[in-house]
Structure 1
Amino acid sequence: MTARPTVYGPTVTEQDRRDLKRLLARIETGFNRKDAAVLDGPFSDDAVVIVPDGTVLRGWSELFDYHTARLNGPVTGWTTRIEIMDISSPAPGLAILHLRQDTTTPQGAFANHGTVVAVKKDGAWWIGAMQNTNVA
């Protein structure tokens, strides 16, 4: 059997962890306030986001348009809570976050699990990619 490398290391500091938690808190706050500018503030201009129904959004403006429409329409009565389950880092300035999103609607509740790829640029963390999947 071929030897396989280990790719994750201890390159995320405690300050990075706090900053990454704040990054995801902005998403939660923006969603709960129905404010797409706050929700999408942490995303890079060239971010790629795959939403739970499989739609692929490319770029900040497409993401912002999508969230503006959703927040002003189908999800107006929803609230969400995001919890980071794990943070790992394959290289300095790169973090992979695994998250759980619990959402409450007037009809009930559901959960998503997701993955965020965050990149540190000029001392700040940005979300370059995100994928979110409904938990069955």
Structure 2
Amino acid sequence: MDIDKNRTLRPTLDSGEHRDAITDLIDHLQRGHDTGDADTYDGVFAGDVLWGSPKGRVLQGFASLNAIHRTQLTGTPASPASVFELAQASAPTDDVVIAQIRRRAINGAFSEMAMYVLVRRDGMWWLAAGQNTPITDLLPAVD
């Protein structure tokens, strides 16, 4: 079997309907941020959610992440005021959605892009994993 030949026959993975799942996630993120309510923000996060912060911290579990979000989402709206918007998405199966969602600070402050993985269980969509990355034009120096 020619491995290189097989790698050129790439499938298209966007096979499912996913707009409702993404809209619901963005709605939870936006409403939670706008009201400073971590429970709303994390409303669709699975109990064993995997999470990566923009500073490289990793953790697992709703309780740990929700406790952090409760300290971060203070004030109404949480600072900085932001807009959550879909950058792009794919649904490799009918029950999995991968979405890149941008949190754009309205005043030009710290903004980030997140990669989210949503999984449908028993007819409901749950956030299984998220990884945030700062949006910046400044990259660290290369040694």
Fold conserved (TM > 0.5)?
yes
Larger Rg: 2
Q: Secondary structure at the match of 2:54?
A: coil
Q: Which residue of 2 aligns with 1:89?
A: 91
Pair 1:8–1:47, CA change in 2 (3 A) = farther
Q: Does 1:117 align with 2:100?
A: no
Which runs of no fewer than 5 residues in structure 1 stay unpaired?
none
Q: CA deviation at 1:91?
A: 1.9
Does the CA-based 8 Å contact 1:32-1:78 persist in structure 2?
no
Which of 29, 41, 44 aligns to 1:42? It is 44
What is the rounded CA distance, in whole Å, between the counterparts of 2:59 and 2:81 in structure 1?
A: 22
Q: Work out whether residues 30 and 39 of structure 1, in 8 Å CA contact, stay in contact via their aligned partners in 2.
A: yes
What SS does structure 1 have at the residue aligned with 2:70?
Answer: helix
Q: Offset of 1:79 from its aligned partner?
A: 1.6
* Percentage identity across paired residues of the two chains: 28
Q: CA RMSD in A?
A: 2.0
Task: Give the 3-state SS of the residue equivalent to 2:30 in structure 1.
Answer: helix
Confirm whether residue 3 of structure 1 aligns to residue 6 of structure 2: yes
CA distance in 2, matches of 1:104, 1:50: 23
What is the number of residues matched between the two proteins? 131
For residues 52-102 of structure 1, the C-alpha deviation after alignment (integer angstroms, 9 at most, x for no partner) is 1111121000011000111238x9432221111111122220110012110
The answer to whether the 8 Å contact 1:30/1:37 transfers is yes
**Superposition misfits of 4+ residues, deviation over 6 angstroms:** none
Which has the higher mean CA deviation after the structures are superposed, 2-11 or 27-36?
Answer: 2-11
**Structure 2: gaps spanning 5 or more residues:** 137-143
TM-score when normalising by structure 1 = 0.85
Matched, 1:12 2:16: yes
Tell me how far apart the structure 1 counterparts of residues 73 and 94 of structure 2 sit (CA, whole Å): 35
Match of 1:31 in 2: 33
Select the structure that is richer in strand. 1
The aligned counterpart of 1:133 is 133
Write the letter of the residue equivalent to 1:9.
Answer: L
Please tell me the residue identity of whatever aligns with 1:112: E
Q: Give the direction of change, closer, same or farther, for the CA distance of 1:65–1:7 in structure 2 (3 Å limit).
A: farther
The one-letter code of the counterpart of 2:56 is: G
| TM-score of the two chains, using structure 2 as the length reference | 0.81
8 A Cα contact 2:16 2:92, kept in partner: no
Answer whether contact 2:80 2:109 (CA < 8 A) is retained: no
